[in-house]
Amino acid sequence: MMHGFHDFHFGLFGGGYMFLFWILLIGVVVWWVVSIKRDPQMSALDLAKKRYANGEITKDELDEIKSHL
């Protein structure tokens, strides 16, 4: 019977570990695609207004961002 790297390879990356690897890889690819879809021409003020419209920040936070820009 041959034992060595081949058995170690399947033992380490087989089963649950391989499943977690693929889930992580798919997650990274999805994150990358979503980050690319952002509009690179969007200004900081436009982004702040969008965040305010989505309810992510308050009116006071929007006004503070405006004052810093």
pTM summary value: 0.42
Question: CB–CB of 66/48 below 8 Å?
Answer: yes
2 or 27, which is more confident: 27
Is the four-CA dihedral 12, 13, 15, 17 of positive or negative sign?
positive
> Which residues, 6 or more positions from 66, have their beta carbon under 8 angstroms from its beta carbon?
45, 48
Cα separation, 51 vs 27, in Å, equals 24
* pLDDT tens-digit series, residues 8-60: 555 555 556 777 888 999 999 998 888 777 666 778 888 899 999 999 999 99
Ordered by start, the domain boundaries in the chain are 21-68
